[in-house]
């Protein structure tokens, strides 16, 4: 839906992913596989960089090194889960790794006196700009670059020239669409991430938050990678390239992790915010996973969790299969059935609008119906408030998909905004005889905009 409503930026994320999704929809059409198309392109890009690093890190047998690196990467639940699903993170990971790669090549060329070194510095800055245009936490890669400039004497000397500053300016200027959108929308995205999304809990010290942050991050990255990471941190590099790559990768890891650990003291920081911390270290861990027991423990652990992810989103939610309701997963099932019920209700008595009561379900409903005209009707503030004008709904009728109970604030909102409101359908989604989700469809007539 972002791609179908092009903008300079968006309420909860920067715009690059949306722009590319629009391009994909034009080239490949509006289908489920086309939504996933970008994830295959970014994975291919990551593998190309892995192949380049394999030749540099182990020139004696780069092919074996590459396949081990690829397997280690895909066996990390963090990367498998967050980049298999078409979140912005797959683009963030690729652009971040591309930026790190370009910066390491720049460092390699500059410190050895090879030609065209500065070209790679500006390429790194451009890739960094794209990473931040994917998700805001791409900024941590830039801090990794700063650490490398400060820690490596030859790079530190370059700070006396204009090139590092011009490269930083390039990455910053690339954020102009985000800055412009926020300036014209009362800093909406920045206020949401820094304050609004926390519901007044920001700033309240909670020592369990950093504990949860560390535990969840460790489990989902893979506990079997902790020892290789420690060995990477304290072992002597075997090559100049590994030394240069390690400086940037570990700099990014330490700064991102410590910053988010500090943030977690006063906010419930999510594990995936720290995904860029691990991007650069992944291809460097291959040397420290030569122990077959440790390697296979990691691979089998990742394979097990990957199988659970595939089952959870492709066959039946794991929680529901164990008779523990998981609405966050089960809500993704049965959207063709939902669309059929909406069409059947509309065939009985046509309406002006088709709507849902949450931004996420509005998007899913619109995709299932093949329309960008689905609207969000609820007090929840979201991106839809920037796409739709409530005044345009005045006097109109609507079919509204909801999962809210009668006594909820959302149903009260609907009753206050329609002259008449009646339930016209209720149905459930099930798989293998197990009930997954319950939906209701309401019909409202005579919409009354908020005064």
Q: What is the DSSP string of 243-282?
A: HHHHHHHHHHHHHHHHHHHHHTTTS---GGGGHHHHHTTG
Q: What is the mean pLDDT of residues 162-178?
A: 97
The residue behind tokens 């959108």 is 181
Residue 353 pairs in a beta bridge with: 398
- Residue 200 pLDDT > 90: no
Residue 203: its pLDDT value, please? 61
Is the Cα torsion angle 359, 365, 370, 371 positive or negative in sign?
negative
Q: What confidence tier does 266 reach under pLDDT thresholds 50, 70, 90? A: confident
CA 12 to chain centre: 11
Residue 211: its pLDDT value, please? 93
Q: What is the mean pLDDT of residues 85-94?
A: 93
Residue 30: its pLDDT value, please? 87
H or E segment at 301? helix 292-314
The rounded distance, in Å, linking the Cα atoms of 62 and 21 is: 34
Alpha-carbon dihedral angle through residues 391, 394, 396, 397, given to the nearest 10 degrees: 90
Residue 191: its pLDDT value, please? 84
Q: What is the mean pLDDT of residues 295-316?
A: 95
Contact assessment for residue 242 and residue 107, using Cβ atoms and an 8 Å cutoff = no
pLDDT tens-digit profile of 118-133? 999 999 999 999 999 9
State in Å, rounded, how far the first CA of the chain is from the last one. Answer: 28
Please give the structure tokens belonging to residue 157.
């000397």
- Say which residue, 107 or 188, is predicted with more confidence: 107
Angle between helices 32-57 and 240-263 (to 10 degrees): 130
pLDDT tens-digit profile of 322-372? 989 899 999 999 999 999 999 999 999 999 999 999 999 999 999 999 999
In angstroms and rounded to an integer, the radius of gyration of the C-alpha atoms of the chain is: 25
DSSP structure class, residue 238: S
Inter-CA distances, 342 with 244, 339, 349, 441, 447, Å: 58, 5, 11, 8, 19
The rounded distance, in Å, linking the Cα atoms of 239 and 406 is: 66
* 434-447 and 418-431 beta bridge pairing: antiparallel
DSSP structure class, residue 404: -
pLDDT tens-digit profile of 244-254? 999 999 999 99
Residue 223: its pLDDT value, please? 97
- Say which residue, 440 or 325, is predicted with more confidence: 440
pTM of the entire predicted model: 0.94
Is the Cα torsion angle 320, 322, 323, 326 positive or negative in sign?
negative
The rounded distance, in Å, linking the Cα atoms of 166 and 144 is: 17
Q: What is the mean pLDDT of residues 2-22?
A: 95
Q: What confidence tier does 204 reach under pLDDT thresholds 50, 70, 90? A: confident
Residue 205: its pLDDT value, please? 79
Please give the structure tokens belonging to residue 81.
């889960």
Residue 122: its pLDDT value, please? 98
The rounded distance, in Å, linking the Cα atoms of 294 and 77 is: 16
* 375-376 and 353-356 beta bridge pairing: parallel
């Amino acid at each position: 839906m972002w791609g179908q409503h092009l903008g300079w930026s968006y309420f909860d994320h920067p715009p690059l992913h949306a722009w590319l999704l629009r391009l994909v929809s034009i080239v490949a059409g509006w289908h489920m596989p086309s939504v996933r198309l970008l994830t295959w392109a970014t994975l291919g890009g990551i593998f190309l960089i892995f192949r380049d690093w394999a030749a540099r890190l182990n020139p004696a047998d780069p092919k074996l090194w590459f396949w081990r690196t690829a397997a280690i990467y895909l066996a990390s639940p963090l990367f498998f889960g967050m980049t298999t699903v078409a979140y912005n993170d797959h683009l963030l990971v690729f652009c971040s790794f591309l930026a790190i790669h370009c910066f390491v090549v720049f460092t390699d060329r500059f410190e050895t006196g090879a030609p065209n070194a500065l070209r790679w510095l500006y390429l790194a800055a451009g890739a960094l700009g794209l990473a931040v245009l994917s998700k805001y936490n791409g900024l941590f890669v830039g801090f990794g670059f700063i650490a490398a400039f400060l820690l490596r004497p030859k790079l530190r000397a370059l700070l006396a020239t204009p090139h590092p500053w011009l490269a930083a300016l390039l990455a910053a200027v690339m954020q102009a669409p985000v800055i412009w959108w926020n300036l014209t929308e009362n800093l909406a995205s920045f206020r949401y991430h820094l304050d609004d999304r926390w519901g007044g809990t920001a700033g309240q010290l909670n020592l369990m938050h950093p504990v949860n942050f560390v535990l969840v991050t460790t489990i989902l990255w893979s506990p079997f990678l902790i020892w290789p990471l420690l060995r990477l941190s304290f072992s002597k590099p075997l090559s100049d390239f590994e030394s240069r790559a390690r400086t940037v990768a570990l700099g990014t890891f330490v700064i991102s992790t410590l910053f988010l650990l500090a943030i977690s003291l006063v906010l419930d920081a999510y594990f995936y915010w720290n995904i860029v911390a691990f991007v650069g270290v992944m291809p460097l861990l291959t040397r420290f996973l030569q122990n077959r027991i440790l390697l296979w423990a990691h691979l089998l652990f990742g394979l097990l969790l990957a199988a659970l992810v595939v089952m959870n989103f492709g066959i039946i939610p794991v929680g529901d299969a164990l008779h523990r309701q998981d609405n966050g997963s089960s809500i993704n099932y049965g959207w063709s059935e939902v669309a059929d019920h909406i069409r059947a209700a509309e065939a009985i008595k046509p309406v002006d609008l088709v709507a849902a009561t949450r931004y996420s379900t509005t998007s899913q409903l619109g995709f299932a119906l093949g329309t960008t005209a689905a609207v969000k009707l609820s007090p929840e503030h979201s991106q839809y408030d920037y796409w739709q004008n409530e005044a345009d709904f005045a006097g109109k009728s609507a079919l509204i998909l909801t999962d809210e109970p009668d006594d909820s604030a959302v149903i009260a909102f609907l009753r206050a905004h329609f002259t008449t409101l009646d339930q016209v359908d209720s149905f459930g989604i099930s798989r293998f005889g197990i009930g997954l989700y319950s939906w209701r469809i309401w019909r409202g007539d005579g919409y009354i905009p908020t005064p």
